[in-house]
């Protein structure tokens, strides 16, 4: 499949799914599926997101703190960790976790349904797969990504504080005061917007790859792999673009 055709198809999946968001609440089955997707996306990824964000904050604090110590500026550790997390690292790590945990699962699930003729069966029953399968999954990602990103930021900041207090001699209260002094609405909004965009991209890419699956088990594996790779690349590229638009 050519690159332009694939981009066109993925864009159509995104537009049709967004247009179908209101229908997620229409039928009992859709509402139930949406609830399951919210749980899988939010609660299901919480352990991974917690570990990733905790260590992200700890690594950031250690790296930045060692440099700041050279200039006796450890008091700014909280601010440095917070600004990095809130603007970039929280939505980025959260996006990576969602692409790896949720996006891959969506691509594999829909891919398996495609090769088992379940997607074709829905089409014949005049139940659009975009409305029935795609919209609840993408909407769950769009809603949960900013929540998880905020959670990531909180846990990462705490992780940084622990490293600061135990290894760099920075008082925890001082660290938190420094962190809170730098956090502003624009940074928070930018981070959350990034998370929403990443959620939309991960959901769309995973659904589009899953629905286009053919060639049995090999095809399912390929669709899963492609959904993760494409999501990772788009998260990086869009992260840069949003930063550039918002801060330059």
Residues that bind other proteins (CB under 8 A): 27-29, 33, 36, 113, 116-118, 120-121, 123-127, 132
* First-last CA distance in the chain: 37
* Residue (195 or 207) nearer to other proteins, CB: 207
Euclidean distance between CA atoms 28 and 228, whole angstroms = 31
Q: CB–CB of 99/228 below 8 Å? A: yes
The kind and range of the H/E element at 223 are: helix 216-247
* Residue (27 or 181) nearer to other proteins, CB: 27
Shortest approach of other proteins to residue 49 CB, angstroms? 24
* Residue (92 or 132) nearer to other proteins, CB: 132
Q: What is the CA radius of gyration of the chain?
A: 20
* Residue (178 or 213) nearer to other proteins, CB: 213
Euclidean distance between CA atoms 145 and 204, whole angstroms = 14
Shortest approach of other proteins to residue 27 CB, angstroms? 6
Euclidean distance between CA atoms 115 and 96, whole angstroms = 27
Euclidean distance between CA atoms 215 and 198, whole angstroms = 29
* Residue (127 or 162) nearer to other proteins, CB: 127
Shortest approach of other proteins to residue 246 CB, angstroms? 40
Q: CB–CB of 108/222 below 8 Å? A: no
Shortest approach of other proteins to residue 126 CB, angstroms? 5
Shortest approach of other proteins to residue 215 CB, angstroms? 12
Euclidean distance between CA atoms 163 and 26, whole angstroms = 48
Count of helices and strands (H, E) across the chain: 12, 0
Instruction: Tell me the three state secondary structure of residue 126.
Output: coil
Shortest approach of other proteins to residue 19 CB, angstroms? 15
Which residues touch 164 (CB under 8 Å, ≥6 apart)? 61, 65, 74, 77, 78, 170, 172, 175
* Residue (146 or 210) nearer to other proteins, CB: 210
Euclidean distance between CA atoms 224 and 230, whole angstroms = 10
* Residue (127 or 165) nearer to other proteins, CB: 127
Shortest approach of other proteins to residue 29 CB, angstroms? 6
């Amino acid at each position: 499949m050519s690159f332009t055709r694939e981009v066109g198809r993925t864009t159509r999946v995104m537009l049709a799914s967004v247009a179908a968001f209101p229908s997620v609440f229409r039928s009992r089955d859709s509402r139930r599926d949406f609830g399951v997707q919210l749980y899988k996306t939010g609660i299901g990824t919480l352990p991974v997101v917690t570990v990733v964000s905790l260590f992200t904050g700890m690594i950031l604090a250690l790296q930045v703190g060692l440099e700041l110590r050279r200039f006796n500026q450890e008091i700014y550790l909280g601010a440095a960790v917070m600004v990095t997390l809130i603007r970039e690292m929280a939505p980025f790590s959260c996006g990576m976790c969602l692409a790896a945990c949720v996006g891959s699962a969506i691509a594999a699930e829909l891919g398996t349904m495609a090769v088992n003729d379940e997607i074709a069966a829905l089409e014949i029953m005049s139940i659009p797969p975009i409305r029935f399968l795609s919209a609840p999954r993408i909407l769950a990602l769009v809603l949960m990504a900013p929540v998880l990103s905020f959670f990531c930021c909180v846990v990462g900041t705490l992780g940084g504080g622990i490293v600061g207090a135990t290894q760099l001699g920075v008082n925890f209260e001082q660290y938190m005061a420094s962190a809170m002094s730098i956090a502003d609405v624009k940074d928070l909004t930018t981070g959350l917007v990034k998370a929403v965009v990443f959620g939309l991209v991960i959901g769309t890419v995973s659904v589009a790859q899953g629905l286009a699956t053919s060639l049995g088990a090999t095809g399912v594996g390929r669709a899963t792999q492609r959904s993760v790779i494409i999501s990772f690349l788009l998260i990086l590229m869009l992260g840069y673009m949003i930063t550039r638009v918002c801060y330059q």
